[in-house]
Amino acid sequence: MEGCGVSRLRLVSALALALIIAVAVFNHDRGSSSPQRAGSGEGGASRKGSPTGRVAPVVTAKAQSEDFRIARRTIGILESPAIVVVKSRIDSQVLEQPVIDGQVVNKGDLLFTLDDREIKALIARDEAQLAKDNAALTRTSRRSSSSTRPRQPSKRLSRRSRPIRRCCRPTA
């Protein structure tokens, strides 16, 4: 990669130099009508050295050494080597997604908000069933604790030992 950048820099520099030389030759051959004349006290050369007697204007700048940034634009698809599959332990619809694709997230960040109305209804139903079962257990345990007490003999007479009562109905 480094060698490629250096060769491009050299190519761009050579093309720029060739362009400057071509412009200078074109202006020189054309007979430049620049108001600035050589030898007018601004450090220019005299007209005697040029074949046509005219001097081409030259602009100079101080050379600088800098890094040359190469930007590449391309069309394509970029795929991350780290792909994470996100699964839910329950079946539900996504209500909100506060993060966007490609965003950096940290542990504990909220990724999705799921619709929990159905789950809450199931929990309420199960809690009601649990309360009903606990009440039935309490009733059964009270009954069983009363049946485990020793029985005292009843003061009532059994059916056989009772005197028979006969009832007379008045006849009309």
**Residue 61 or 127, more confident:** 127
Determine the pLDDT at residue 171: 62
116-138 mean pLDDT: 94
CA distance 60 to 153: 131
Split at pLDDT 50, 70, 90, the class of 29 is low
Task: Spell 28-66 as b/e; 16+ CB within 10 A means b.
Answer: beeeeeeeeebeeeeeeeeeeeeeeebbbeeeeeeeeee
Point out the least confidently predicted range of 50-59, 72-81, 103-112, 124-133.
50-59
What are the tens digits of pLDDT across the range 64-97?
888 888 888 888 887 777 777 888 888 888 899 9
Q: Is the pLDDT of residue 157 over 80?
A: no
Point out the least confidently predicted range of 19-33, 86-100, 115-129.
19-33
Point out the least confidently predicted range of 75-79, 138-142, 155-159.
155-159
Determine the pLDDT at residue 42: 47
Please say whether the beta carbons of 55 and 44 come within 8 A: yes
CA distance 7 to 78: 28
Domain boundaries of the chain, sorted by first residue: 2-49, 82-100+110-145
- Cα–Cα distances (Å) from 170 to 11, 164, 167, in that order, read 140, 19, 10
3-state secondary structure of 94: strand
18-27 mean pLDDT: 87
The top-scoring range by mean pLDDT among 59-73, 79-93, 97-111, 119-133 is: 119-133
Determine the pLDDT at residue 41: 45
DSSP at 159: T
Dihedral (C-alpha) 120, 123, 129, 132: value to the nearest 10 degrees? -80
Q: Is the pLDDT of residue 23 over 60?
A: yes
Determine the pLDDT at residue 158: 58
Split at pLDDT 50, 70, 90, the class of 145 is confident
DSSP at 114: E
